[in-house]
Amino acid sequence: MKALIVLGAIVGFLIGTGFGLAASSPWPAVLWRACAAALVASVLTRWWGRIWMQGLRDSLEQRRTRRAAATVTTTPPKKS
């Protein structure tokens, strides 16, 4: 998860730098925009990562319950 947040921060910094340079801003303004974009991108990446991980956990849980239910229903009843 931490690697995903760092990746989001790097991407946000690069996007902020790109927009700052495209606007022909002075370097302090470019750096400020890049830092703000890095913060926003890392927060969004953290939010998205949590949702993604929860979806993966739910998917695995559903797969386990389906397998358990299939095992119970496909086992023939024992004759006494």
Q: What pLDDT, on the 0 to 100 scale, is given for residue 75? A: 64
Query: pLDDT digit of tens for each residue in the chain (80 aa)?
Result: 789 999 999 999 999 999 999 999 999 999 999 999 999 999 999 999 999 999 999 999 999 888 887 777 666 667 76
Measuring CA to CA, which residue among 55, 46, 59 is closest to residue 11? 46
Q: How far apart are CA 45 and CA 75, in angstroms?
A: 45
At a CB cut-off of 8 Å and minimum separation 6, what does 1 contact?
46, 49, 50, 53
Q: How far apart are CA 47 and CA 42, in angstroms?
A: 9
pTM of the model: 0.73
